[in-house]
Amino acid sequence: MRLLVPLLACALWFGQAAAQSHGLSVPEDAEPDFWAVRGAPGGSRLNMREEPIEGMIVTGLPPGEVLRNRGCRTVRAERWCRVERLAGAQAGWVAARFLLPAPPAAAPAATEAEPAFDATGKIPCATIPGQTSRDCAFGVLRNGPGAASLRVTGSAGIVRYIYFDDGVPVRSDGEGSFTVERLNDLFLIRIGGERYEVPRAVIEAGTPSPAADPPAAQR
C-alpha cells in the first residue's frame, strides 16, 4: 500500500502532462502547485500579463521555466492561470495552453538567478533623493515592438522595474508619482524621489544600447 500511493501520484502527473501535450485542458480540480512553460509559437517567450487576454505585458517567460501556480479561471472561453516566478517574485497571468504541470521535484528553490535579458549595460540613475546621478546596471527584456521590461539596480541594492508600452515608459513598481520627460532620444523618468535616464535604444530590439554589455544569445 505504501508503494502504491507514490506510484498513483506519479501516474496522475504524467497523465496531466500527456493531456497538455495533446492540447487538452487539465481539469480545474487537478491543478498542480507548479507549472512549466512549454513555450509560445516559434520558440519565443510566453507573455505574462497583468490581467488575462488584454492586460499589459509584465515580462516574457522562457520555455522550461518553472512557475508557482496561484490559481486558474476561464475568461472568454479560454483558460488563464495566475503564476508567480520563483526568482524575483514577479506575478501575472498566462494562457494555460502554454503550460505543463510540473512535479514538485522540478521546482527549484527560489534563487536570484539572472533572467535571460536581451541586453544589459549601465544607465545614469539616482535611487536616493538628493543623490547625484551615477552608473546603474540594467537588464532589459523586450516583449515585442515598443514593449519592454527594464530592471535597474541602483544604490544600496535598490532594484526598480520600469515597464514600456508603445515605445514609451508607462509605469513602474515604485511608489510615488511617475513622470516622464522626453529629451530627443532620452527618457528622463522620475519615480517619487528617484531619477532614471533611459536612452530609447535600450528598449528597441536590434538597436545597440549605449554602454551595453554583449547581447544575450539569439533565440
Q: CA-CA distance, 62 to 4, in Å (whole number)?
A: 35
Element (H, E) at 19: helix 4-21
Q: CA-CA distance, 183 to 159, in Å (whole number)?
A: 24
Mark out the alpha helices in 100-177 (DSSP H runs).
none
Q: Record the cell numbers describing residue 191, joined without a space.
A: 519615480
pLDDT tens digit at each of 219 positions of the chain: 444 444 444 444 444 444 443 333 444 446 788 988 886 666 678 888 999 988 888 888 888 888 889 999 999 889 999 998 887 668 899 999 999 888 765 555 544 455 678 899 999 999 888 888 999 999 998 877 888 889 999 877 788 889 898 899 998 888 889 999 999 999 999 999 999 999 999 988 654 445 444 444 333
Cα dihedral across residues 95, 52, 61, 71: positive or negative? negative
Q: Beta strand pairing status for 147-153 and 159-165?
A: antiparallel
Q: Which residues in 59-95 are b (16+ Cβ under 10 Å) and which e? A: bbbbeebbbbbeebeeeeeebbbbbebbebebebbbb
Per domain, the residue ranges of the chain are 27-106, 119-202
Residues 154 and 148: beta-carbon distance below 8 Å: no
Which residues contact residue 128 at a Cβ distance below 8 angstroms, ignoring those fewer than 6 apart? 154, 155, 156, 158, 193, 194
Can you give the three-state secondary structure of 57-87, one letter per residue? EEEEECCCCEEEEEEEEEECCEEEEEEEECC
What's the predicted TM-score (pTM) here?
0.51
Q: The cell 498513483 sits on which residue?
A: 8
By the 10 Å C-beta count (0-12 exposed, 13-18 middle, 19+ buried), 55 is classed as middle
Looking at the structure, give the CATH architecture of the domain made up of residues 27-106: Roll (2.30)
Beta bridge partners of 149: 141, 163
Residues 51 and 61: beta-carbon distance below 8 Å: no
Beta bridge partners of 37: 99
Element (H, E) at 133: none
